[in-house]
Structure 1
Amino acid sequence: MKTGNVTGNVYKRSVHRKIETNGIGVKGAEYGEGCAFLTSENVDKAPEKAKQLWITAQSLSVWSGAEGAKLCVYEAVNRAAATAVGKGEAKVRMVSMQLMLPADCQEQELQKMTAAAQEAAQKLQVTLADVKVHVSGAVIAPVATAEALAEVWTAPAGAALSARAGQQIVMTKWAGLAGTVRLEKTYREALLKRYPAQLLDDVAQLEQHFSILPEAAVAGKSGVGLACAVSEGGVFHALWTLAEQAGTGLEVSLKKIPIRQETVEICNELDINPYELSGNGSLLFVTDQGEMLAEQLQQQKIPAAVIGFLSADNDRVIVNGEERRFLEPANTDAIYRME
């Protein structure tokens, strides 16, 4: 395609016709506008004395092409939902995207990226409201960024929740979730020499767990004061971020961090640390009632476990049996070390 903004016909054919607004009062994705707008729902039903708050969250694709566009939508929406936890009654309303394509990119690739992003948005029940597309010689592979917008009706003054030392840390799902799916797709042929096809097929199905909206909804009604979506850099990076946001230290048991056996096998074979592997789809909470929250999540068929607690000092400690080591500031995602 030609350098610059895509032409009107290409945009209409490969973007505008691929996305839907899901009927929630959002208008966007018209060629030439480069923006979207929405109307607020249920203003008359807002909680008494509540204030309206808008939260935005951004993501940049870890991977190129259609897979990167899809994950980008999940990550932005997950971050917005996690940020809204503890702040009031929340709903992620829409997500917008920017696609940067190399000059040799074919229109079919644009169609695949748009379709993948729309597929993710539909599964999340969020409107893909606007897609900006630009062709540039500055990139060598298709790159996606996304921004999600969440509407929150905040709690009355004085009722806002916060994190503090002594609270427990709850983790949903498993370490290295999204990264494991990516490794299976990228290295499937090599992995088939070591593992049965059924194991790898099971990994491919894990994509259905990428959304954290169900657990965020449960947490929002359960007195959770702070949440952090696991994404690039894995659960170790998310734990560091959680402690930074809480202004505390933490202590986490490595053996209590949930991890699937498929992830262990694949990461051992490829010599990757699964705790530093992209974990999109997993969420960390801090709460006074960790066991109760984990049980509530499990009742909703959401895997969850208490893995540690916030501490009064600033030390971030990972405990593995008798070994205690300090958590370090985030490294790059483990998957980059394969490239």
Structure 2
Amino acid sequence: MLPPGKIPPEKLKELVFNRLGAPGERVLIGAGLGVDAAAIDFGERILVASTDPITGAEEGIGFYAVNVNANDVATFGARPKWFLVSILLPENSDEGLLSRIMGDLHESASRLGIAIVGGHTEVTPGLKKPIVVGTMLGEVEREKLVTSNGAKAGDAIILTKWAGLEGTAIIASERGEELEREFGREFVERAKSFIEMISVVEDALTANEIGVHAMHDPTEGGIANGLHEMADAAGLGFVVRGNKIPVREETAKICEFYGLNPLALISSGTLMIAAPQEKARDVVSALTEKGINASIVGEFVEDPETRVIIENDGERPLERPESDELWKVV
């Protein structure tokens, strides 16, 4: 049986990546481990395309759909511009649900300057919650293209904002009454508000102006899985320092309450950047000037077998999560 969440890498290699249709002559970057999007050659400009479903949330699902897909395109240095969306509704859904989802989609896309250009909408037998699947398209000048597989040994690993933002917001929304009894309403409202920070479009475009080798949006499996995905894509290892990885108090307390690992909690809103050491401080400064929290947490290393986290009690392997921590509580 396959676990909930992303399909494990070995199964992707066995069942997916060897069945990708005809060769694409203009495909510069196609499907692969840790690769967030595809890049297609259009001459002086590159078309960047990405697709992602939203399956673990109901409240704000349209907001998540736009921002998660926009994030993947932005990690290639591209500005997201066009969005296609498929909306799958449970049986017995009313018009109000569809109206709320479309309102979220419209508002979120408008805020980022994105046009919704097509899609599909249906009521789907067997669903318990709505599912929204988005495909985002963007473009970037050829010389500004950045890929998620471009990290180099010695690169600094930079994280923006905080680990587990999206997961924290989802749990606070889905389990709000329980959390209010434990921590109070103000705490829960702060945790819910983390949804407002899940866009990394400005993070990515700002970092790309300074000059970086790779960027990645760690979604399912959180920071831990994102590090593995980025290392997989580049054929590298990594060393990170646990005390440098930023975690908000609300995330830490919610994870402790439910027995979750914040580093394996879905983390849209955090951007993972591989930057040359000589530019790392400049990248952090540029992000900080925009009001975006940024931290240097480690570095990529040559040996792909070295994937460790250094904590107060010593060094240990940073295991790849089997599934996202979110699935334990929603």
| 1:141-220 matched pairs, under 5 angstroms | 141-155=129-143, 162-220=150-208
Residue type of the alignment partner of 2:123: V
2:126 corresponds to 1:126? no
The more displaced of 251-260 and 288-297 is 288-297
Q: Which residue of 1 aligns with 2:95?
A: 107
Q: Percent identity?
A: 24
2:235 corresponds to 1:282? no
Which of 284, 308, 317 matches 1:317? Answer: 308
Check whether the contact 1:272–1:334 (CA below 8 A) recurs between aligned residues.
yes
| Secondary structure of residue in 2 paired with 1:219 | helix
Q: Which residue of 2 aligns with 1:333?
A: 324
The more displaced of 293-302 and 318-327 is 318-327
- TM superposition shift of 1:138: 4.1
2:44 corresponds to 1:51? yes
TM-score, structure 1 length as denominator? 0.79
Which of 67, 71, 74 matches 1:78? Answer: 71
Q: Which residue of 2 aligns with 1:69?
A: 62
- TM superposition shift of 1:212: 0.5
User: Once the two structures are superposed, what CA deviation does each residue of 1:192-250 show, in whole Å capped at 9, x if it has no partner?
Assistant: 22213222222222222111011111111111010001212111111111111222100
RMSD in angstroms over aligned alpha carbons? 2.0
| Secondary structure of residue in 1 paired with 2:152 | coil
Residue type of the alignment partner of 1:112: R
Q: Which residue of 2 aligns with 1:29?
A: none
User: Once the two structures are superposed, what CA deviation does each residue of 1:77-106 show, in whole Å capped at 9, x if it has no partner?
Assistant: 101111x13xxxx32111110011223211
Q: Which residue of 1 aligns with 2:80?
A: 92
Give the 3 Å change call, closer, same or farther, for CA 62–319 of structure 1 in structure 2: farther
- TM superposition shift of 1:128: 1.9
- TM superposition shift of 1:276: 0.9
Q: Structure 2: where are the runs of 5+ without partners?
A: 1-41
Q: How many residues align?
A: 283
TM-score, structure 2 length as denominator? 0.81
2:261 corresponds to 1:273? yes
Give the 3 Å change call, closer, same or farther, for CA 217–156 of structure 1 in structure 2: closer
2:298 corresponds to 1:305? no
User: Once the two structures are superposed, what CA deviation does each residue of 1:121-142 show, in whole Å capped at 9, x if it has no partner?
Assistant: 1222212222310222243321
- TM superposition shift of 1:113: 1.1
2:230 corresponds to 1:242? yes
Residue type of the alignment partner of 2:327: Y
Q: Which residue of 2 aligns with 1:255?
A: 243
| Secondary structure of residue in 1 paired with 2:128 | coil
Q: Which residue of 2 aligns with 1:33?
A: none
Q: Structure 1: where are the runs of 5+ without partners?
A: 1-45
Residue type of the alignment partner of 1:333: D
Residue type of the alignment partner of 1:139: L
- TM superposition shift of 1:174: 0.3
The more displaced of 125-134 and 241-250 is 125-134
Partner Cα distance (1:64, 1:210) in 2: 14
The more displaced of 164-173 and 313-322 is 313-322
